[in-house]
Amino acid sequence: MKRRRFLIGTISAFAAPAVVGRAQVRTLSSGKLPIPPLMEVGEEAGNQLAAIEGSHSFIAGTEARVLGWSQDHLGPTLRLRRGQTARLTVENRLNEPITAHWHGLHVPGRKDGGPLSLIAPGREVENLLDIDQPAGTYWYHSHPHGRTGEQVYRGLAGMLLIDDDNVSAGDLPHNYCVDDIPLIVQDRAFSGSGGLQYDDDGMTAMQGFRGDQIAVNGALNPVAKVPKGLVRFRILNASNSRVYVFRFDDDRSFHQIAGDAGLFPAPAPRNKLHLAPAERAEILVDFSNGSIASLVSENVPVQMMGGMMGGGMMGGSSETASAEGILQVLRVEVDDSLPAAVAKLPQTLGGAPIPDFGEPVRRRKFQLNMMMGMGMMRGMFGGRPNLGINGESYDMDRIDQELRLGETEIWEISADMMAHPFHVHGTSFQVLSQNGQPVDYAKTGLKDVVWVENTAEILIRFDRPATKETPYMYHCHILEHEDSGMMGQFTVG
């Protein structure tokens, strides 16, 4: 397959972010925050997602060629219900293979939409997904090996919510698009004509691709109108590699109520929110005093360890050298005419999952490798680098681990050179420690991505099977790392 190359060289040519207080900010229109349409996915037939190519205007007066699910860019928000089977047909109207991966869903390997479940051009696949896991904010995206980064970047991603009728939602904002607002946050780079730029070779693949503009639900610099009360934002970091540290420009505090895979036991107060690629967070923000605020993020630099990957060898990208600058994400304005259903912060979150992993019977180690000899050298000289886990690059003909159904394990994950968001398919896990420090479950909830700076330990169990024909994946969710081989596959039986 001919790989597209939009951008030659390093990202340094596009390293002037939309930074507040800097002169070189390009003028952007501030439009209303687009909200993806809600698709209720029940057991009845007729729910259809089609991968299509479309055109989308990020910058006024320009059009970008993009991808989407049943719409020009990104996809509808799917709402599934616990205890039900979601029936959903996925059709591929593109001229290259895709998959439909349900990120965070506890479904068997054959329904997981991993890289071995390709949907060829012109084909469609019916999915019957039995939903039995905590209510929460999940997502879906294409996952073909070597092409995930570009396909997700161009738009094959969407949000997926699980509701649970047995969990009282009355205490929490739950009016989609009014006080319960999805925010799909992605960084983007543009050509002079307003088209999307992307590159996944060489040093860009080593660092992970980063754009200099922040899109929310496909819009740059949008404005959200919210009611005068408590507002729930469901934030998904669907960026290929960028890490965010979100906060409000007036430094107001807010409460995190959920992480990747379900509610916390109680709202956790925060001033800042660290969100690595593929992580989700639900936050409650109080707008009852009517004052406006902007959601911003620190411009987190790519952190490479060791002198060799410092400035010189990194191709002089200014983003690696400087953490200065604040990225504008979303302006929030209060509209008195909108109904505020919830005014008071709940003290506890009824129906929050209670971890019940039991005693671990085994430990496994996963070392995320940037240092793969000649493979890394290829990356430095402009080719696709050869990254790996435990010394081996992803091979779809090799099963890397064999697990037993229902057995709890501790996985020890370690990173070299830089920090990586490690994702595991097919289940949710509990983070036990990061960098040797114990992690408080009340501040993370259940997860399916863990941020690995140096080391992390997770407690994990699989209750669904995965065969060697359609195994589960574990991988770095920096999509250029995943596409370059920082992925492994395993069976559960």
Catalog residues that contact Cu ion under the rule CB under 5 A. Answer: 420, 476, 478, 481
Q: What is the C-alpha to C-alpha distance for residues 304 and 485, in angstroms, rounded to an integer?
A: 19
What is d(CA 382, CA 298) in angstroms, rounded to the nearest whole number?
A: 29
Cα 28–30–33 angle (5° rounding)? 130
Minimum distance of Cu ion from residue 455's CB (angstroms): 14
- The residue (of 161 and 478) whose beta carbon lies closer to Cu ion is 478
Residue 86 vs 368, nearer CB to Cu ion: 368
Nearer to Cu ion, 161 or 417 (CB): 417
| Least separation in angstroms between CB 452 and Cu ion | 8
Which has the closest alpha carbon to 160: 61, 236, 59? 236
Which phi and psi angles does 203 have, rounded to 5°? -65, -25
CB of 388 or CB of 471, closer to Cu ion? 388
For the record, the structure tokens of 255 come out as 């409460």
Q: How far apart are CA 143 and CA 19, in angstroms?
A: 32
Residue closer to Cu ion by CB (options 103, 481) is 481
CA of 449: how far to CAs of 278, 428, 444, in Å? 7, 9, 11
Q: Which CB, 50 or 305, lies closer to Cu ion?
A: 305
- Cα–Cα distance measured from residue 207 to residue 214, given in angstroms and rounded to the nearest whole number: 18
Distance of closest approach, residue 277 Cβ to Cu ion, in angstroms: 9
Cα dist from 318 to 10, 212, 213, whole Å: 10, 12, 15
* Cβ pair 429, 446 in contact under 8 A: yes
Asked whether the beta carbons of 261 and 448 are under 8 A apart, the reply is yes
State the pairing for strand pair 230-237/244-248: unpaired
CA distance 485 to 493: 25
Report the alpha-carbon distance of residue 380 to residue 347 in Å, rounded: 52
Question: At closest approach, how far in Å is the CB of 403 from Cu ion?
Answer: 22
CB-wise, 234 or 420, nearer to Cu ion?
420
Residues in a beta bridge with 50: 91
Least distance in angstroms from the C-beta of 478 to Cu ion: 4
Tokens of 434: 């990061």
Nearer to Cu ion, 457 or 482 (CB): 482
**CB of residue 323 vs Cu ion: minimum separation in angstroms?**
20
Nearer to Cu ion, 153 or 248 (CB): 153
Nearer to Cu ion, 309 or 492 (CB): 309
Q: Which is nearer to Cu ion, 47 or 186 (CB)?
A: 186
Which residue, judged by CB position, is nearest to Cu ion in the bound state?
A: 476
Give the 3-state secondary structure of residue 470: coil
- CA separation for the pair 398, 271 (Å, rounded): 44
The upper half-sphere exposure of residue 176, i.e. CA atoms within 13 Å in the direction of its Cβ, equals 17
Kind plus residue range of the DSSP H or E element containing 202: helix 202-207
Number of H helices, E strands in the chain: 5, 33
Six token digits for residue 402: 């064999």
Minimum Å distance from CB 114 to Cu ion?
18
Nearest residue (CB) to Cu ion, 268 versus 479: 479
- Min dist. Cβ of residue 433 to Cu ion (A): 19
**Shorter beta-carbon distance to Cu ion: residue 48 or 303:** 303
> Residue 456 belongs to what H/E stretch?
strand 455-460
Instruction: Give the DSSP letter string of 77-119.
Output: EEEEETTSEEEEEEEE-SSS-B--EEET----GGGS--TTS-B
Task: Give min distance, CB of 413 to Cu ion, in A.
Answer: 11
Q: How far apart are the first and last CA of the chain?
A: 34
Q: How remote is the C-alpha of 16 from its chain's centroid? A: 24
**β pairing state of 409-415 and 362-369:** parallel
